[in-house]
Chains A and B, each alone.
Chain A
């Protein structure tokens, strides 16, 4: 039997370009897939593609639905390669079984990064790698949704290849039936058509015969010029069930005999449970069990409201784990101390690096971003049922169904085969449900194991969700630059703090002859994790702020200043120019208003925003408009792609304007939306998204819209007021002119 892993890695390593991202399944595996995920009258033709007797094409999506429209986009890619009638296609969530592991995700990454190792694993996948003991082989057994990779990796290297292979099998079956050559056939509207005779077969008629051929590992793929469905807007397939309350999220699971659990986790990070006074909730109705864990206490009751109220009232004592003195200020001082300790080691340089600075006068600026919570609308939750026969069943939203299943098996101490995981849609995620951020799964499994035979639904209240997240890190960055006589930077030095490793996103696309980068690790007790756009969310702000400062220092227009450093980057230049043109950059804004521009490339997509803001005489800020230009190669579903950029802009704007998780006495100070404000309809600017197509490979859609928002807005504030904001959020600063 051919090993799937060998095929994937072998192809990537040996040729570097051969596309075999989808698993090459021998027929035994296809029949196993039929058993796991096939229904009556359906059969798998290739990995992820099944076709039923009635012509329905079903694409198995190895991702979760967290609202980004990827089920629709991936279905479009499959229908395009198959030549399927769009109305006869549907998408299904892949079972969290190793058989449906998403090798294409890793393949896409491996093809773009030679010599993949622990250090080069992208941040959004690091939780998987760590959980798997750093072994690349195990790294293949994932179904992660993150890193803006569903279309650019799963779609490009997986789904469309599988669909093309399935099409070739259908054609082969038709050709054999008519004893005609393969090249006399094409597919269209879910039929295989014999051009010379005009005879045709329905997909459903051929599916059984086609399943007896072997899928090719490198089928012929359509070129972009042949596309009739990819690149056209189609309505998202998930939306109708989201306007009438029909979509069942993890939190909506109901089953007979189910009990509800509320949790109280040590407010201080690292704290342990010392004591619980159960008498403090004596007489509360419906309480089934109080479960004492190492760092938390769980109250299980017959109704969630009863469990929640009892958990609130329950008297508990937690230790402070020596972290009682940790605060936002203490962390900030540690950051500044680490950056000022003399020599930050520069691990990457260009040209002469920092040596080029010599004794020149340098422009020096320090920037900082705070911790941020994900605060998805659906608070994290999971329902679990542990039975006396040592089996475990879990219902939850997760950004990796297969990984979550393995994680729950480990948490319960039982074999993977005894664990069933039901992956349900997530009410937002933004990174919160990625591997490594699964405290809600751990606690749900523990609650269920304390009540064998009883399904237990554990829901974090908004307060617990906000105070026990894995936060976007608090990061401080110090820049130094020396300018040429024309004002352009001759030397660019960036030294920044990090919770883990150095960040690829720190590197600039601008043409600066001498560059040096150094990361200094500062470990704190605060749990951190990927947050929409990950490293780019902070480095985008830092870099695009500093560039703007240098432009003003040099008395040059911020757009022109950037353009001068992009002469060898035509795609970036085109995006920047399009955003500027659509925003009317050349014409002065109305009195009291200012415009700011920023551009960030991440996840294979280049985004530039122009923000137009107004600051009133009393310091009130209004963001009127964000004009965006974006090059993602090609948008599979343009309207769905635009929706992702619009959403990413609002997400970035919430963070820029108000977003801040602060610590005092070792604990998060914020409780709920009233003290963790986010953008609402009244604050939302007009947003325009302009897609600039290019021949570049497909880039990601979910995250790249976020990073340039904060610097575009703060650069606009500077243009309007002369006030430079180097520390987010903006709400911390008085914007009054002359203040």
Chain B
């Protein structure tokens, strides 16, 4: 089987029902995408499949064979993306474990809706962060959406 990840075609040999998450992590050694719950509830495993944010822990790899897949390692390949830069400026991460998934989800949201309201942000970004970095995520997105570059 062939899988297109971060612009590269990769040969894989796995059962078709293996969740995409484990293929990305353990076959392709791209460990920036995280395992958090295994049931699509926390969003730590979020990647882009044809530009759409998908929870890779519940997506069988067979459903992604013809797609363009982007992981956290792919979005900043040519220098930091705007979202990544804002995440540093606003000092969002604490432990950082959930942030790959959050950054992927936010990047997809902003590509579709460059200026989301706080309500839109809350209804779309349902990722879990146990460190509780939500207020900083809001500030960073608000700055990216044109609300100014300074936190608070």
Report if A305-B22 is in contact (Cβ < 8 Å); known contacts: A378-B97, A650-B134: yes
Report if A462-B38 is in contact (Cβ < 8 Å); known contacts: A647-B133, A679-B134: yes
| Complex alpha-carbon distance, A650 and B134, angstroms | 8
- Interface size of A in residues (CB-CB distance below 8 Å): 66
Interface residues of B in 59-102 (CB under 8 A from A): 71-73, 76, 80, 84, 87-88, 91-100
| Complex alpha-carbon distance, A565 and B131, angstroms | 34
With a cutoff of 8 Å between Cβ atoms, the chain A residues found around residue B122 in the complex are: 680-683
Report if A69-B129 is in contact (Cβ < 8 Å); known contacts: A244-B32, A462-B36: no
- Of A246, A427, A646, chain B has the most CB atoms within 10 Å of the CB of A427
Decide if B39 touches A376 in the complex (CB within 8 Å): no
| Complex alpha-carbon distance, A241 and B71, angstroms | 15
A contacts with B: majority SS: loop
Min CB–CB distance A301 → chain B (angstroms):
11
With CB as the reference atom, state the residue of chain B lying closest to A675: B41
| Complex alpha-carbon distance, A297 and B126, angstroms | 34
With a cutoff of 8 Å between Cβ atoms, the chain B residues found around residue A241 in the complex are: 96
Decide if B127 touches A680 in the complex (CB within 8 Å): yes
- Of B19, B39, B97, B133, chain A has the most CB atoms within 10 Å of the CB of B97
Q: Interface digits, A243-272 against B, CB 8 Å rule (1 contact, 0 not)?
A: 111111101101000001000000000000
With a cutoff of 8 Å between Cβ atoms, the chain A residues found around residue B35 in the complex are: 251, 379, 459
A590 interface contact, C-beta 8 A: no
Decide if B18 touches A377 in the complex (CB within 8 Å): no
With a cutoff of 8 Å between Cβ atoms, the chain A residues found around residue B5 in the complex are: none
Q: Interface digits, A364-390 against B, CB 8 Å rule (1 contact, 0 not)?
A: 000000000001111100000000000
With a cutoff of 8 Å between Cβ atoms, the chain A residues found around residue B19 in the complex are: 305
Q: Place the interface of chain B in its size category.
A: 35 or more
With a cutoff of 8 Å between Cβ atoms, the chain A residues found around residue B129 in the complex are: 377, 650
A68 interface contact, C-beta 8 A: yes
A666 interface contact, C-beta 8 A: no
With CB as the reference atom, state the residue of chain A lying closest to B100: A245
| Complex alpha-carbon distance, A245 and B73, angstroms | 6
Min CB–CB distance A428 → chain B (angstroms):
4
B49 interface contact, C-beta 8 A: no
Decide if A425 touches B134 in the complex (CB within 8 Å): no
With a cutoff of 8 Å between Cβ atoms, the chain B residues found around residue A238 in the complex are: 93, 96
Decide if A242 touches B135 in the complex (CB within 8 Å): no
| Complex alpha-carbon distance, A648 and B133, angstroms | 10
| Complex alpha-carbon distance, A173 and B50, angstroms | 62
Interface residues of A in 289-345 (CB under 8 A from B): 303-305, 308
With a cutoff of 8 Å between Cβ atoms, the chain B residues found around residue A430 in the complex are: 130
Decide if A67 touches B137 in the complex (CB within 8 Å): no
Q: A: which residues have CB within 8 A of B?
A: 65-69, 235-236, 238-249, 251-252, 254, 260, 285, 303-305, 308, 375-379, 425-430, 459, 461-463, 639-640, 643-644, 646-651, 654, 672-674, 678-684, 686-687
